[in-house]
Amino acid sequence: MRADRRMLVDSHVNLHAEAFAEDRDAVVARARAAGIVRMIAVCARLSEMEEVVAAAAPYEDVFPTLGAHPHHAKDRPGVAADEIVALARDAGAVAIGETGLDFHYDHSPHPVQKEAFRKQIAIAKELQKPLVVHTRSAPQETLQILREEQAQDVGGIIHCFSEDAPFAAAALDLGFVSSFSGIVTFKKAVAVHEAALKQPADALLVETDAPYLAPMPKRGKRNEPAYVAYTAARIAELRGEDPEALAHTTYQNALRIFGIEE
């Protein structure tokens, strides 16, 4: 398996992260050289919204999102929805999130996570933008809130997919496609392999979640958008598809879902 020059979108990178503070330009340049033609710079803390926007601003191929990760749902609970809506419009945010539920680490109390999730679904609906959903150890609760809040009105992405094929199918019924990260390149992630294999081609995205979760053969190193090529190649291998065709499909899916022009 090797990473070729193919057009790809990294659907989830934490470009504002401290890990990229020293060499962000070089990271973006390496991504472009590897055929990563669009990158989605994701926001995880309301206190970092401006930083995310600033990190994306110099690059015409990097598009920001705005939102609060469930870990940080308890930070700045008072931030007004209006403030997020206004900044999202201003900054040309392509999605709301990442938001969702993480009952694995439990860094914020469950009721606080749920409330922040519901609030961000409402914001996404107001803006008519897709949602970037993070879900860990809370599959049924995540689906329930998406259903109750009628999130299918805007749909979105289950990012860094780590559940199983039935979850992917249930999410897709609600208008949520699955974005696969380096996890799909790990040998032991059998449920994720199966999900990537069964996922309809038009509902498949790839991401790095960089600087975290580098795919094989870079596992353990700092991850960066260029490495999304390894993830796409592994999914093509699992599905027995031509790597270039699969890359092109995920590229088109990303442009469609994030509403980005070619």
Residues lying near Zn ion in the complex (CB under 5 A) = 98, 134
CA distance 217 to 57: 31
- Taking the complex as a whole, how short is the minimal distance between the CB of residue 132 and Zn ion, in angstroms? 8
Amino acid identity for residue 248 in this structure: H
CA triple 199-201-203, angle to 5 deg: 70
- Taking the complex as a whole, how short is the minimal distance between the CB of residue 99 and Zn ion, in angstroms? 9
CA distance 111 to 2: 44
**What is the number of the residue whose Cβ is closest to Zn ion?**
134
- CB-nearer residue toward Zn ion: 208 or 249: 208
- CB-nearer residue toward Zn ion: 3 or 132: 132
- Taking the complex as a whole, how short is the minimal distance between the CB of residue 16 and Zn ion, in angstroms? 14
Q: Cis omega (within 30 of 0) on the bond before 70? A: no
- CB-nearer residue toward Zn ion: 45 or 248: 45
- Taking the complex as a whole, how short is the minimal distance between the CB of residue 96 and Zn ion, in angstroms? 14
- Taking the complex as a whole, how short is the minimal distance between the CB of residue 209 and Zn ion, in angstroms? 6
Per DSSP bridges, beta strands 156-158 and 8-13 are unpaired
CA distance 161 to 174: 16
- CB-nearer residue toward Zn ion: 124 or 246: 124
Buried b (16+ CB within 10 A) or exposed e, 145-170: bbeebebeebbbbbbbbbbebebbeb
- CB-nearer residue toward Zn ion: 192 or 236: 192
